[in-house]
Structure 1
């Protein structure tokens, strides 16, 4: 009771592309966090880390346009550490 009903409709190509761009956003942020620990020269690390962040944010904005603000809000709430221990309001 209270569970979401999964529809059998096929998602449009732009929606799937948007989800892929949101995943790339997360991967690029992880790459930016790992970059300082690589054996690259310091100026190279700075360029790579800032490049990952800039490209990641651009991909996030494009992906957000494709999937819609509701999906982005839900996706970001999963990534917020404040919400990790909260129970879903439909679980009981």
Structure 2
């Protein structure tokens, strides 16, 4: 679409005082309405084909490559180690050191634990972290499991 066509479409939308306006003609408007009413059907009809075209143009999608086994294991180990560091924070009152040292160690352990967690998450990958986050979320523990049919 040329800039003149875009300007004409915008002018038409302002004149009609439209809050929403889909540029591109009747076919695009029809597809937008189909997508809002039946998104699964719209995906089936158009988006799968469009996705294939985009993939052939841009190559593999970002994140589609698999993580190496070593990076995955190292990432998971770092995430587990960060949880262990938080456990050390809770055990500090039981350690026979001065209160000043305990107060100094607490924020240091918290910062180190967060850094280790995020680096481990980056190594393991977004999908792995989001999957295990659901396992560790206490709100999910009491919900009934959905049965696969």
Band the TM-score falls in, shorter-chain normalisation: 0.7 to 0.9
Q: Indicate the structure whose relative CO is greater, using CA pairs within 8 Å and at least 6 residues apart.
A: 1
* RMSD of aligned Cα (Å): 1.9
**Number of corresponding residues:** 82
Matched residue, 2:74:
17
Unaligned runs of 5+ in 2: 1-67
Matched residue, 1:53:
110
Larger Rg: 2
Unaligned runs of 5+ in 1: 1-10
Stretch deviating more after TM superposition (60-69 or 73-82):
73-82
Tell me, in whole angstroms, the C-alpha distance in 2 between the residues paired with 1:90 and 1:44.
51
Tell me, in whole angstroms, the C-alpha distance in 1 between the residues paired with 2:100 and 2:130.
35
Question: What's the TM-score, normalizing by structure 2?
Answer: 0.49
Judging by fraction of residues, say which structure has more helix: 2
The question of whether the paired residues in 2 share the 8 Å contact of 1:18 and 1:63 is answered with yes
The question of whether the paired residues in 2 share the 8 Å contact of 1:33 and 1:49 is answered with no
Question: What's the TM-score, normalizing by structure 1?
Answer: 0.76
Q: For residue 87 of structure 1, give the secondary structure of its aligned residue in structure 2.
A: coil
Alignment CA distance shift 1:85-1:33 (3 Å): same
